[in-house]
């Protein structure tokens, strides 16, 4: 069974600090997708990134960057120069590919608090 671990339950930083959210996953599939979602206080899930298991290139989008390392089964998310608007719960998720069933397996989330 697949599993996603976000060991950091809560992180608190001061604005403009860099912060990295850790995500470690387990799967027996060779083909899978990894995701990060943001959940602001309003409650909706905001899609941030999807990464195919065959694509290990790191990605940067503005202040956000992602480091995918298959060797360590990790897909970490870094926010550079954090802002108060980054305060949210962040979920890492893994998509299974069994051919007969499909689901996203989510981590338990990391609550990020950015203060002035």
Interface contacts to another protein, rule CB under 8 A: 4, 9, 31-33, 35, 37, 43-45, 47, 50, 52, 91, 93, 95-97, 99, 101-104, 106-109
Least distance to another protein from the beta carbon of 35, Å? 8
CA distance 116 to 14: 6
Which is nearer to another protein, 47 or 62 (by Cβ)? 47
Which is nearer to another protein, 16 or 40 (by Cβ)? 40
Least distance to another protein from the beta carbon of 95, Å? 5
Of 92, 8, 95, the closest CA to residue 47 belongs to: 92
Least distance to another protein from the beta carbon of 14, Å? 25
The 3-class secondary structure across 50-81, one letter per residue, is: EEECCCCCCEEECCEEEEEEHHHCEEEEEECC
Which is nearer to another protein, 47 or 116 (by Cβ)? 47
CB 66 within 8 A of CB 59: yes
Which is nearer to another protein, 63 or 103 (by Cβ)? 103
Strands 10-14, 110-115: pairing kind: parallel
């Amino acid at each position: 069974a697949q599993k996603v671990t976000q060991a950091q339950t809560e992180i608190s930083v001061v604005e403009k600090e860099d912060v990295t959210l850790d995500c470690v996953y387990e799967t027996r599939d060779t083909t899978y997708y990894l995701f990060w979602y943001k959940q602001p206080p309003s409650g909706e899930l905001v899609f941030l990134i999807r990464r195919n298991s065959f694509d290990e290139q790191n990605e940067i989008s503005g202040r956000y960057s992602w480091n995918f390392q298959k060797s360590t089964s990790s897909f970490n998310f870094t926010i550079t120069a954090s802002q108060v608007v980054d305060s949210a719960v962040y979920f890492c998720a893994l998509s299974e590919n069994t051919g007969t069933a499909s689901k996203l397996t989510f981590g338990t989330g990391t609550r990020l608090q950015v203060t002035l």
